[in-house]
Amino acid sequence: MTDVTKRIADVQQAMRLALSNDDWEELSTLDLKCRTLVEEAVADASRNQIIVRDAIIPLLELYKHAVAACEAHRDQIAAELKGFNRQKTSAQAYQNCQF
């Protein structure tokens, strides 16, 4: 395993942990690191394309899972915001109707 593929594996493990903890800020930071490492690995792929490919394929699966989790989290927050807005509107209507 080359140095860059080892670092990809390490970042991938950290991303899994951040994802399981819903630590979106850490996931964002790790995403930037991961992108840099993948660029580095692709640039160095001429030496051993199979090793690089084997490091990137599991990462792709993790990203698919992370995107789905982010979308679910976004939808949950959107639903909560809609609920808050409905409550606010209801409270304002109630206040306006008081005699």
Helices (H) and strands (E) in the chain, counts: 3, 0
Give the confidence band of 90 by pLDDT, cuts at 50, 70, 90. Answer: confident
| Mean pLDDT rounded to a whole number for the chain | 86
Q: What is the pLDDT of residue 10?
A: 93
Tokens (6 digits) for 68: 């789905």
pLDDT in tens, 31-67: 999 999 888 888 876 667 888 888 889 999 999 999 9
Q: What is the pLDDT of residue 18?
A: 94
Q: What is the pLDDT of residue 85?
A: 83
Q: Is residue 26's pLDDT more than 60?
A: yes
How many beta carbons lie within 10 A of that of residue 29, not counting itself? 15
Which is nearest to 14 in space by CA: 36, 31, 35? 31
Q: What is the pLDDT of residue 47?
A: 66
Q: Is residue 92's pLDDT more than 90?
A: no
What does the pLDDT average to over 78-97?
Answer: 82
Q: Tell me the HSE value of 51 on the side-chain side, using a 13 A CA sphere.
A: 15
